Structure 1
C-alpha cells in the first residue's frame, strides 16, 4: 500500500467512516482528458504557478488508486467546451458508469439546440449528477436554451456540480451574479458550487445561506496550492461550521498538483472537528445521493 493510501486510511479510521465520497473527480474519454492535461500544463503562465498533474495515469490505474484510497463513491466530471459535444460525452459517461459501479453516473450539457432532449435522455438512463462548467464553456447559465434543463433537474432533484466562480482565471460569465439570477428562477435546484466558490468565497457562501438546496464542494480549497492563488478569508471560517451539512468533499483528482491526502490534511487543519469532517467527507454526500456505502461495489 502506498504512503498516500496509508495516510488516507488513517484519516478514515480516525473518523470512523466506511470510506470517502468524492463528488469532484474527473474521468473523460482519453483524447478529451489529454486536452485537459494540456491546458493545465499551459496554465502556469496565466496564474504564475505551475500546475503539474499528480496522477497522470491510464484510466484503469486511476480508478484503482481511488479504490486504494478508500473512496467508496466518486464522479466522472466531464464537460463540453463547444456545441455538439455534450451528448457524445454523456454516452461515454454512461458506459464508464456501467463498468465502474462505484462511480456516480455523471452527465453534462451545453446551451444548444436539442439540449433538453439529451439531458432528459441522460436522466432516463440513470444519471445521478451533472457537471456544468461555465468557465470552460464560456456560457451564461441563464441562457434561455438552458431554462428547461434547469427546470427538469430541479424537479428531478438531481445535483449539478457547477464551476461558476472565477478561479483559477475568470471567464466571461463567471462569478456569483449569473448563479444568483439562476437560483432566483430555480430556488429548489440542488446546485453544488465547485471549489467552494474560489475566489468569491463569501459571495457563494451568501447564496448557500439564502438557498437551502445549494451545496459547496471543497475541491482544492484550503490546500497550500490554492492558498497561494486565492486564500480563503479567515473571517469567513466560522460560516463553514454553520454550513457543515452542505459542504461536500471534492478533490479534482487526478488533475491536482499534490498528493491526494493533502486535500484531507487541508480540511483537517481548519480545526472544525471530526464531526464536521465526517459530514463533509462522507455523510453529506451519502445523504444527498442516497448512497449505501457500507459495502463498496467491486470491492478489491
Structure 2
C-alpha cells in the first residue's frame, strides 16, 4: 500500500481575528494555556530549554515575555477565555499554586479560574476549598507529577469532581517522553472507577491518539484538547494517524482548542492554521475554536473579555 500523502504545509499565518470574524464567533476559547508564578514558570522554561535531548528537536519558547505582555498577546490573537494551567511536581506545592491561581483569576477576568492537586494528605480538603473559591477547571500532569491517577489518596477528589462536573485537563499521553503512569491504561482504570468523570485529555493523548479517542467514544465525559497536535512540530515527532480523522468529526463536539501558550516553539497562529488545514469544515472548526469550550464553561459572549 502506498503511504498516505504528506499534509500540505500550514497556510500563511494571516490575521487570526479575521478568521474569527469569518467564522462568526466572539473569539477563541483556549483551554490549555499556562500562567503561573514567575519562579515556577522560569523552571518550566529551563526544562524546555533542555528538552532537545529528550525529543531530538530543539524547543525554543516563542513567547518568553513578561506576564502583562503575554496577556496582551493572547488577547490580541482573539482569545476571549483561557486557563492558567498549574501543576505541582512534588507534595506541598499544589495548595500554594491554587492560592496563586485564585489571585490570578480575580485580577484576570478572562481567565477561567484554574486549580490543581497532587496525591498527598489533605488533597481533598484543598480541592474542596478551591471549588468553593470558584475553580472552574483543574490540571493534573501525570508525566511531571509522576503519579498514578488511581492513587487511593485521589479517590475522594475524583468523586467530588465527577459529582459536580468540573473538568480536569490531564496530561496522560506519553509525549514528549513517557512516564511510569502515562499512556491510556491508567486513565482507562480511572474512568472505569468514575465513569461520569469529565476529563480533557491534553494534546489529544499524543502519541497514543487512537487509544484516547477510544476512551472518548466509550465515556461521554471524556473530551480532548488540540494542544500542539497537528502542528508541523508535532507531526515530525508523533504524526496524527490519517485514518483517525473521521473520528475527529464524529467527536467534533468534544474537541477543544488548546495551545500550550506561551511554551510553544512556533507562533500561536500556527496551531489554529494546523486545525484549519485538516479540512474538516467551518462548522467543525467553529466548534473547536469557540463553541465547545463556551458550552463546557457556560460562557456568555463578552462576559470574559478583559476591559
TM-score normalised per structure 2:
0.95
Query: How far off its partner does 1:298 sit?
Result: 2.5
Alignment pair present for 1:247 and 2:255: yes
Ranges of 4+ aligned residues in structure 1 off by more than 6 Å: none
Question: 1:269 — aligned with what?
Answer: 277
Question: 2:124 — aligned with what?
Answer: 116
Question: 1:86 — aligned with what?
Answer: 94
Query: How far off its partner does 1:105 sit?
Result: 0.1
Question: 2:52 — aligned with what?
Answer: 44
Distance change in 2, residues 1:193/1:28 (3 Å): same
Question: 1:64 — aligned with what?
Answer: 72
Query: How far off its partner does 1:5 sit?
Result: 9.3
Match of 2:103 among 79, 95, 101: 95
Query: How far off its partner does 1:295 sit?
Result: 4.5
Q: Indicate the SS of the match to 2:287.
A: helix
Match of 1:129 among 116, 122, 137: 137
Question: 1:31 — aligned with what?
Answer: 39
TM-score normalised per structure 1:
0.97
CA deviations on 1:160-186 (whole Å, 9 max, x unpaired) are 000001000000100000000000111
Question: 2:15 — aligned with what?
Answer: 7
Alignment pair present for 1:194 and 2:214: no
Question: 1:164 — aligned with what?
Answer: 172
Q: Give the whole-Å Cα distance in 1 for the aligned partners of 2:144 and 2:105.
A: 24
Q: Give the whole-Å Cα distance in 1 for the aligned partners of 2:13 and 2:115.
A: 29
Match of 1:177 among 177, 185, 188: 185
Match of 1:228 among 221, 236, 251: 236
Alignment pair present for 1:219 and 2:232: no
Q: Give the whole-Å Cα distance in 1 for the aligned partners of 2:201 and 2:54.
A: 23
Alpha carbons 2:16, 2:269 under 8 Å: kept: yes
Alignment pair present for 1:17 and 2:28: no
Q: Give the whole-Å Cα distance in 1 for the aligned partners of 2:303 and 2:129.
A: 29
Q: Give the whole-Å Cα distance in 1 for the aligned partners of 2:200 and 2:110.
A: 20
Query: How far off its partner does 1:13 sit?
Result: 1.3
Query: How far off its partner does 1:58 sit?
Result: 0.6
Query: How far off its partner does 1:11 sit?
Result: 1.4
Alpha carbons 1:220, 1:250 under 8 Å: kept: yes
Greater alpha carbon shift after TM alignment, 261-270 vs 7-16: 7-16
Alpha carbons 1:5, 1:68 under 8 Å: kept: no
Q: Which runs of 5+ in 2 are unaligned?
A: 1-11
Alpha carbons 2:111, 2:304 under 8 Å: kept: no
Alpha carbons 2:81, 2:305 under 8 Å: kept: no
Q: Give the whole-Å Cα distance in 1 for the aligned partners of 2:125 and 2:13.
A: 42
Query: How far off its partner does 1:6 sit?
Result: 5.8
Alpha carbons 2:226, 2:255 under 8 Å: kept: yes
Query: How far off its partner does 1:293 sit?
Result: 2.2
- Root-mean-square deviation (Å): 1.1
